[in-house]
Structure 1
Amino acid sequence: MVEVIAGVNGFDGLAIAVKAASYALLLIASGSVLCPLTVDGLPLKERRSLYRFAAAIVPVALALIIARLMLEAVFLAGDDWAAALDPGLLALVANGALGQTLALQAVGGVLIAGGLIRGRTGTASSLIAVVLIAVSFTLSGHVSGTAEWHDEVLLVVHMLCLSFWVGVLLPLYRLSGQPGDAAAIVAEDFGRKAIGVVAVLVVAGLITLNTLTGGLPAALQTAYGQLFAVKLGVFALVLLLAAINRRALTPALISGRPGSGHAMRRSLVIEASAIGLIVVVSATFTTLTGPGG
């Protein structure tokens, strides 16, 4: 793993950064659709604020998707930056597995933005968009190379659950800094539902690791498996923070204990940072290595 990371050049770093940023924005946009529909107690004002934020970041996500297409063309041309504007190479990438992934993500982003702007009438299209974005991750990457259909299903479910988790962080952070019991209601409801989400994420992650590498002992012999293990380790930190939120911080919010809102906001910042690190690690090992090495 150290050798792989040490060999990262400027182009690799840029590719990883663009991929990680696009992943993050797509997760946030998807979560902004799922959160108001699945978490009870979210005030109408906060729902609207979340919708506006999601609609605003979609254009940035689309720009990053285009950047990924261009960077792949540059990579195919041997790091020749002129290839970023080469119609032939761009068409080649667009017709491949990565191109299909990016196209589906772009369609999903547009549908999300359009659905959120239209309000309730766009709910159906926004939900379809969230599913399309989740499915897009099965079209390219390491899971797409397996012969097992359930791996793709697990990845889709994994992405939906992660989107749900990410989607609640911003509104809960904002509410925790405001007077009233809205933060407590949202935190309590999310805590109940997160139990099932955690179970799905853990099971899906372990099954995927086993399928791609043959299990944790074998995985630790490869750079890919070691990076995957780092990802699982960071996720364990997220689970610890979630447990603290549920067992200590949420009851403090419910009881109105002084300083509980500040403590919750601090915990959410750490949790969001950890999830961000997971996204970066995922972008790193899917860019630099594969299950076999």
Structure 2
Amino acid sequence: MLEVIADATAFDGVVISLKAITYGALLVAAGSILVGLTIDGVPLKERRFLRRLAAALVPVILFALMAQLMLEAVFLAGNDWTAAVDVQLLGLLATGSLGKALGLEGLGAVLLVGGLMRGASGAAVSLAGVALIVGAFAVGGHVSNTPGALDNLLLAIHMLCLAFWVGIFLPLERLSHQPGNAAARVAEDFGDKAPVAVGLLLVAGALTLDQLTGGIVAALQTPYGQLFALKLAAFAGVLWLAALNKRRYTPALVAGHPGARRRLRRSLHVEAVAIGFILVVSATFTTLTGPSG
């Protein structure tokens, strides 16, 4: 693992950074829609904020996706930066698995704007956007080269649950600064739903690693498996924080204990940093190595 990272070039670093930013923007946008539609107690004002946030991230996502396609063209041309504007090469890449995945993510992001529409139609359009985004990871990721649909399904479930988790950070942070018990209600409802999402996330991640590498023990002998295992270990740490939130911080928040809001915010900040680390690790192993090692 260390050898692979040590051999990374500055260009690799740019690609990894861009991927991590794209992952983060997609997850925050999709997660904002999911949280706004599924978590009880979120005030109407905050639901509107989440829908506007998802819509505001769309231009960022589209720019990042186009930049990824251009960087892939540069890479294939032997780091020739003029390839970034080679229409023929870009068109060729757009028809491949990477281009299809980026296209699905872009379309999904655009559909998230449907959340600004009122009523069931707006919710349906935005949820379709979420579905396209999580499905796109299976189209363009390492599982796209594996036979059968199981790996694709596992990765889609993994990303869906991760988006749901990421989506709660900002609304809880905002509500913790506001008077009233909205933060407590949201934290309590999320705490009831999160264990299912987190459990599915971890199980889907572990099964994906097993499916891609022919066994977790064998996987740990490869840089890809080691980086994937590092990602799962970080998830386990965040899971511990989530459990702490549910068992200690949320009950204290509901009871109105002094300092409960501050402790909840601190925990959310640590979780957000850990998720950011996980996204960087994910971007690293999808850029520098593959399931075959």
Which TM class, normalised by the smaller chain length? over 0.9
Matches within 5 A, 1:27-66: 27-66=27-66
Matches within 5 A, 1:198-209: 198-209=198-209
Whether 1:94 and 2:90 are equivalent positions in the alignment is: no
Counterpart Cα distance in 2 of 1:242 and 1:148: 33
Counterpart Cα distance in 1 of 2:174 and 2:102: 32
Paired position in structure 1 for 2:110:
110
* Unpaired segments ≥5 residues, structure 2: none
User: Would you say the 8 A contact 1:31–1:165 is kept in 2?
Assistant: yes
Paired position in structure 1 for 2:127:
127
Counterpart Cα distance in 1 of 2:110 and 2:207: 32
**Offset of 1:88 from its aligned partner?**
1.2
Please tell me the residue identity of whatever aligns with 2:116: I
Counterpart Cα distance in 1 of 2:273 and 2:150: 30
After superposition, give the CA deviation of every residue in 1:89-146 in whole Å (9 maximum; x if it has no partner).
1011111100000111111111112x12323342111110100111111112211111
**Greater alpha carbon shift after TM alignment, 219-228 vs 45-54:** 45-54
Paired position in structure 2 for 1:265:
265
Structure 1 segments, 4+ long, off by >2 Å, are 116-121
When the two structures are superposed, what TM-score results if normalisation uses the length of structure 2? Answer: 0.98
User: Would you say the 8 A contact 2:22–2:64 is kept in 1?
Assistant: yes
User: Would you say the 8 A contact 2:26–2:109 is kept in 1?
Assistant: yes
Whether 1:292 and 2:292 are equivalent positions in the alignment is: yes
Paired position in structure 2 for 1:183:
183
Matches within 5 A, 1:271-282: 271-282=271-282
Paired position in structure 2 for 1:19:
19
Counterpart Cα distance in 1 of 2:166 and 2:175: 15
User: Would you say the 8 A contact 1:39–1:186 is kept in 2?
Assistant: yes
When the two structures are superposed, what TM-score results if normalisation uses the length of structure 1? Answer: 0.98
**Offset of 1:243 from its aligned partner?**
0.6
**Offset of 1:216 from its aligned partner?**
2.2
Paired position in structure 2 for 1:74:
74
Paired position in structure 1 for 2:193:
193
How many pairs does the alignment contain? 292
Q: Percent identity?
A: 60
User: Would you say the 8 A contact 1:138–1:155 is kept in 2?
Assistant: yes
Whether 1:4 and 2:4 are equivalent positions in the alignment is: yes
Please tell me the residue identity of whatever aligns with 1:248: R
Query: Over the residues paired in the alignment, what is the CA RMSD in angstroms?
Result: 0.9
Please tell me the residue identity of whatever aligns with 1:101: A
Please tell me the residue identity of whatever aligns with 1:283: A
Counterpart Cα distance in 1 of 2:45 and 2:188: 19
Please tell me the residue identity of whatever aligns with 2:286: T
After superposition, give the CA deviation of every residue in 1:12-40 in whole Å (9 maximum; x if it has no partner).
00001111111110111101111011110
SS in 1 for 2:139: coil
Matches within 5 A, 1:102-251: 102-113=102-113, 115-120=114-119, 121-251=121-251
Counterpart Cα distance in 2 of 1:210 and 1:154: 11
User: Would you say the 8 A contact 1:177–1:265 is kept in 2?
Assistant: no
* Unpaired segments ≥5 residues, structure 1: none
**Greater alpha carbon shift after TM alignment, 248-257 vs 48-57:** 48-57
Counterpart Cα distance in 2 of 1:169 and 1:231: 19
User: Would you say the 8 A contact 1:224–1:290 is kept in 2?
Assistant: yes
Please tell me the residue identity of whatever aligns with 2:115: L
